[in-house]
């Protein structure tokens, strides 16, 4: 099968004998390439030759078969035959119904005519002619009509999420889109500035349309393949494998992206279309032709009037103006103001913090990160430029306990700073001190959801301070007339002020500070690139915050007279006090509890469902002889699988308990940490654990904190149910 590609003009057909045979060979090859290419005379010659030499006919037929099989395999428009058949069947059925209906009406009309005007019987020949003409017309209609009937609107997708104003547009009329609406072909949609909408196709393909996007859903007439026409704006798509339908096509004024199954983002601007690919590969081609690009994961393609450009996708997009970033393999880098080059810098850990995902994500559980060196370099660099942009991807804290909690700050002494990014309830606030001002200029960025990642950007150009959430401008302070030349030297702190106060408990998933004010479109692009690269990872960092939607502890199964006190839930010291920490039916799950043990001698116990069994974690008090262990409810270490730890639960301050339960085939694991420190780690067969049914356990099928005889304040409860968690990174 080693067939060379011809590279010379003399590679003629093989010599098989006389000249007419050679000519026949030429005809055969030409015919195989294009069945309509032969002249009538040549076709006659071919037929004659084939009749004379049946072996040639067999060879020709074999070539025709192979030619078609290769076309079936390789030609784009022939890969979706099954869907085309489905469509033809659908058209056939629709045509049958409509034709039947039309013919019935015409027949009824004709019958009525005949009844009402019997005198027409006299001109029976004329009537026959009319009827014959009518019948012939109907036959022609029956044959031709299905090809030319306008395509009826076809339901394509359902609205899953809407934020802000999204409209369907019909002429001058606009109708608001709501969750649950079905979007059909032929209906243009507009997403207003600051809004977004997520659609779900029947095959679980998700497409999210961002702020300012105008688009329309289309279905290929024959194959039903999904098409999306985007005039402007931004989309993020997670496309399921399209199998027989043919590729899903995103069409913009500049280009087409052909997607078989992948994750991607398209940004459509007036001058260009940009494609960022998260996963898989996407064929990207300009509408004006030319060689298409195959854009693979973590790459980006840009189509404009001059051509197609392929490049690596990264965040932050450019190093040119970068002063500080955490995204260099998890090692913080700051620009050395003396050399202008980036250098590694160290963030000092203060209190309960930890970095995850190769150090690129900073989880703050009551502590902070601190760097005098980074702070000084930043101050020097920014002072010199008089402008900056801070981009941070943060997962906010529970909203109830945050009062001006510092997400990050520069030179923050608790009262004054160079700048502060802080969370106040469910608002993000940015405070900027300029020359000679004792009070900061305050920029309100807007509401955020606890435990959902948000891209925050603040840009200062010397006069105007602009804030963005997820790439959308959401506030600005103008006419700032003083500069930054008198900024004082101070440390960079994450998660608290410089003295460790104003603690913020959340996560910083990305941070980049640059020495210029990014333009609106640059912020949009940057937010998009971050999401393309990291949104999926960040989904795994989000939680269901059980305290986010309300304060009523009665929503949770409980005993012990739990009450709301200072944004927390507190019990009395009854002998039967307990509190439900999550729903029933958890299998693979993470649990996070911020607990403040106020009174009592302990111990506290957490009962945790593990594959229809239960583990009981005993949390002992400092000074107690009883140590933390995995025990049965009677306080006795379980036979054969007793696990104990020397750790004790501190009193008088809030402690973060994190639980991780995993099932893998016949093995289960249970891990508990306290303020990020490993506390208890057990792996084994779930059969080793006690049966879940037990009269001594309250609500044994859900995680429970048993606080009997102790007074406890629960400040936060979060659950991550891995079995239910959607893998989608869109719309988080």
Partner 1 sequence: MAERPEDERSSELSSGEAIDSGETSYLIEPGNIGSDSTDSTSTEFDFDVVVRETHPHIRAYIAGMGVPRHDVDDVAQDVYVELYRFSDRIPEGVHPKQWLKGIARNLCLNYFRRQGRRQRLQREALVEILIRAEQEGPPSLAEGPIRRALDGCYEQLPDESRRLLELRYERELPSQTIAEMLSSTAEAIRVALFRIRNGLKQCIASSLAAEGT
Q: How far is the CB of 2 from partner 1 (least distance, A)?
A: 6
Complex with partner 1: residue 36 or 115, whichever CB lies closer: 36
Strands 353-356 and 361-364, by their bridges, are antiparallel
CB crowding 119-156: b at 16 or more within 10 Å, else e: eeeeeeeebeeeeeeeeeebeeeeeeebeeeeeeeeeb
Burial class (CB in 10 A: 0-12, 13-18, 19+), 8: exposed
Helix (H) or strand (E) holding 373: helix 372-385
Please say which residue, 43 or 473, places its beta carbon nearer to partner 1: 43
In the complex, the smallest distance separating the C-beta of residue 45 from partner 1, rounded to whole angstroms, is 11
Nearest 5°: the CA angle 534, 665, 726 is 30
- Token readout for 175 is 């109708």
Nearer to partner 1, 77 or 677 (CB): 77
| Best CA proximity match to 721, nearest among 595, 594, 581 | 581
3-state class of 498 per DSSP? coil
Q: Say what angle helices 40-52 and 54-74 make with each other, to 10 degrees.
A: 120
In angstroms, what is the minimal distance from the CB of 186 to partner 1?
24
Is 142 or 638 the residue whose CB approaches partner 1 more closely? 142
Q: What are phi and psi of 240, to 5 degrees?
A: -70, 155
As measured in angstroms, the least distance from the Cβ of 34 to partner 1 is: 7
> Could you tell me the two tokens for 669?
């694991």
Residue 81: CB minimum distance to partner 1, A: 6
Say how far apart CA 186 and CA 170 lie, in whole Å: 9
Q: Around Cβ 302, how many Cβ atoms within 10 Å?
A: 23
Question: What gap in Å lies between CA 673 and CA 681, rounded to an integer?
Answer: 9
- The least CB distance from residue 290 to partner 1, in Å, is 12
Q: Which is nearer to partner 1, 34 or 116 (CB)?
A: 34
Q: In angstroms, what is the minimal distance from the CB of 40 to partner 1?
A: 6
d(C-alpha 238, C-alpha 332), whole Å: 32
Q: How far is the CB of 548 from partner 1 (least distance, A)?
A: 46
Between CA 163 and CA 547 the distance in angstroms is 22
Contact 589, 706 (CB under 8 A): no
Q: How far apart are CA 398 and CA 422, in angstroms?
A: 13
Toward partner 1, which CB reaches closer, 33 or 435?
33
CB nearer to partner 1: pick between 146 and 253: 146
Whose structure tokens read 């999204």? Answer: 166
For 494, other C-beta atoms within 10 Å of its C-beta total 27
| 47 or 564: CB nearest partner 1 | 47
Identify which of 549, 582, 596 has the alpha carbon closest to the alpha carbon of residue 400: 549
- HSE-up of residue 498 (Cα within 13 Å, Cβ side): 19
Closer residue to partner 1, CB minimum distance, 95 or 153: 95
Minimum distance from residue 91 beta carbon to partner 1 (Å):
9
Query: What's the gap between Cα 287 and its chain centre?
Result: 27
Q: Which is nearer to partner 1, 29 or 170 (CB)?
A: 29
If the CB atoms of residues 60 and 513 are measured against partner 1, the closer one turns out to be: 60
The least distance separating partner 1 from the CB of residue 61, rounded to whole angstroms, comes to: 4
Rounded to 5 degrees, φ, ψ at 671 are -130, 140
Residues in contact with 412: Cβ distance below 8 Å, sequence separation at least 6, in sequence order: 406, 418, 420, 490, 491, 493, 497, 498
Q: Shortest gap between Cβ of 59 and partner 1 (angstroms)?
A: 8
What is the DSSP secondary structure assignment for residue 635, as one 8-state letter? S
User: How many whole angstroms separate alpha carbon 406 and alpha carbon 408?
Assistant: 5
Are the CB atoms for 391 and 526 separated by under 8 Å? yes
Our CB check for partner 1 shows the closer of 53 and 437 to be 53
Taking the C-alpha atoms of residue 379 and residue 487, their distance in angstroms, rounded to an integer, is 7
Cβ of residue 318: shortest distance to partner 1, in angstroms? 36
Residue number with CB closer to partner 1 (7 or 305): 7
CB of 249 to partner 1, least distance (A): 16
Q: State the minimum distance, in angstroms, from the CB of residue 24 to partner 1.
A: 13
Choice between 55 and 152, CB closer to partner 1? 55
Tell me the angle at which helices 40-52 and 19-33 cross, rounded to the nearest 10 degrees: 120
**Residues at the interface with partner 1 (CB under 8 A):** 1-14, 26, 29-36, 40, 43-44, 46-47, 50-51, 54, 57-58, 60-76, 78, 81-82, 84-85, 88-89, 92
Closer of 60 and 712 to partner 1 (Cβ): 60
- If the CB atoms of residues 65 and 108 are measured against partner 1, the closer one turns out to be 65
Q: In what order do the strands lie in the sheet with 613-619?
A: 558-559, 578-580, 704-706, 604-610, 613-619, 628-630, 643-645
CB of 106 to partner 1, least distance (A): 19
CB of 225 to partner 1, least distance (A): 14
Q: Which residue has the tokens 């403040």?
A: 596
The number of residues making up the chain comes to 732
- Nearest approach, Cβ of residue 135 and partner 1 (Å): 14
8-state DSSP, 444: E
Q: Give me 676's structure tokens.
A: 């990020």
Between CA 69 and CA 71, with CA 70 as vertex, the angle to 5 degrees is 90
HEC-encoded secondary structure of 578-597:
EEECCCCCCCCEEEEEEEEE
Rg (CA), the chain: 35
Looking at the Cβ atoms of 30 and 380, the one nearer to partner 1 is 30
């Amino acid at each position: 099968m080693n067939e060379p590609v011809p590279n010379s003009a003399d590679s003629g057909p093989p010599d098989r004998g006389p000249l007419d045979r050679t000519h026949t060979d030429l005809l055969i090859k030409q015919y195989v390439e294009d069945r309509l290419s032969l002249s009538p005379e040549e076709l006659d010659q071919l037929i004659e030759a084939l009749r004379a030499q049946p072996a040639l006919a067999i060879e020709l037929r074999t070539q025709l078969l192979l030619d078609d099989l290769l076309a079936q395999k390789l030609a784009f428009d022939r890969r979706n035959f099954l869907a085309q058949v489905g469509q033809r069947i659908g058209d056939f059925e629709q045509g049958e119904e409509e034709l039947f209906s039309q013919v019935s009406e015409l027949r009824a009309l004709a019958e009525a005519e005949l009844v009402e005007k019997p005198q027409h019987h006299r001109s029976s020949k004329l009537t026959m002619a009319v009827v014959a003409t009518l019948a012939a017309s109907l036959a022609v209609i029956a044959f031709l009509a299905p090809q030319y009937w306008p395509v009826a609107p076809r339901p394509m997708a359902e609205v899953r999420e809407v934020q802000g104003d999204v409209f369907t547009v019909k002429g001058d009329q606009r109708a608001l889109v709501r969750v649950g609406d079905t979007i059909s072909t032929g209906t243009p949609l507009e997403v207003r500035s600051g809004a977004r909408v997520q659609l779900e196709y029947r095959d679980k393909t998700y497409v999210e349309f961002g702020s300012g996007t105008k688009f329309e859903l289309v279905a290929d007439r024959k194959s039903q393949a999904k098409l999306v026409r985007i005039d402007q704006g931004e989309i993020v798509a997670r496309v399921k494998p399209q199998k027989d339908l043919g590729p899903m096509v995103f069409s913009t004024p500049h280009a087409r992206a052909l997607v078989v199954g992948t994750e991607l983002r398209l940004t459509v601007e007036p001058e260009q279309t940009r494609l960022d690919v998260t996963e898989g590969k996407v064929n990207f081609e300009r509408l004006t032709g030319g060689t298409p690009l195959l854009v693979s994961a973590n790459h980006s393609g840009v189509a404009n009037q001059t051509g197609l450009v392929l490049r690596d996708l990264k965040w932050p997009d450019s190093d040119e103006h970068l002063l500080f970033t955490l995204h260099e393999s998890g090692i913080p880098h700051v620009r050395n103001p003396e050399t202008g080059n980036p250098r590694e810098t160290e963030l000092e850990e203060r209190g309960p913090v930890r970095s995850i995902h190769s150090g690129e994500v900073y989880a703050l559980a009551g502590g902070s990160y601190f760097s005098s060196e980074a702070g000084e370099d930043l101050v020097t660099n920014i002072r010199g430029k008089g402008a900056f942009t801070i981009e941070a991807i943060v997962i906010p804290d529970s909203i109830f306990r945050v009062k001006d909690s510092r997400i990050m700050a520069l030179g923050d002494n608790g009262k004054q700073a160079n700048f502060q990014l802080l969370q106040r309830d469910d608002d993000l606030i940015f405070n900027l001190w300029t020359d000679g001002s004792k009070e900061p200029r305050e920029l309100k960025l807007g509401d955020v959801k606890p435990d959902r990642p948000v891209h925050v950007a603040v840009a200062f150009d010397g006069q105007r301070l602009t804030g963005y959430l997820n790439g959308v401008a959401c506030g600005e302070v103008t006419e700032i007339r003083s500069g930054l030349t008198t900024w004082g030297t101070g440390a960079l702190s994450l998660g608290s002020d410089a003295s460790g106060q104003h603690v913020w408990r959340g996560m910083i998933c990305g941070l980049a500070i640059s020495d210029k004010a990014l333009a609106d479109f640059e912020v949009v692009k940057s937010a998009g690139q971050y999401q393309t690269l990291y949104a999926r990872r960040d989904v795994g960092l989000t939680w269901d915050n059980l305290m986010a939607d309300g304060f009523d502890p009665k929503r949770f199964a409980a005993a012990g007279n739990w009450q709301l006190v200072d944004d927390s839930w507190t019990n009395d010291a009854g002998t039967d006090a307990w509190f439900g920490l999550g729903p029933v039916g958890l299998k693979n799950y993470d649990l996070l509890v911020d607990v403040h043990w106020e009174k009592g001698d302990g111990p506290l116990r957490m009962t945790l469902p593990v594959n229809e069994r239960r583990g009981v974690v005993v949390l002992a008090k400092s000074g107690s002889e009883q140590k933390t262990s995995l025990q049965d409810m009677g306080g006795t270490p379980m036979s054969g699988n007793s696990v104990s730890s020397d750790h004790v639960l501190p009193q008088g301050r809030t402690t973060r308990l994190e639980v991780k339960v995993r099932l893998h085939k016949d093995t289960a694991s249970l891990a508990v940490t306290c303020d990020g420190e490993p506390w208890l780690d057990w792996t084994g067969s779930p059969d080793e654990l006690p049966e879940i049914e037990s009269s001594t356990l309250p609500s044994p099928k859900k995680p429970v904190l048993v606080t009997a005889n102790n007074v406890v304040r629960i400040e936060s409860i979060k659950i991550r149910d891995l079995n239910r968690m959607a893998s989608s990174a869109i719309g988080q």
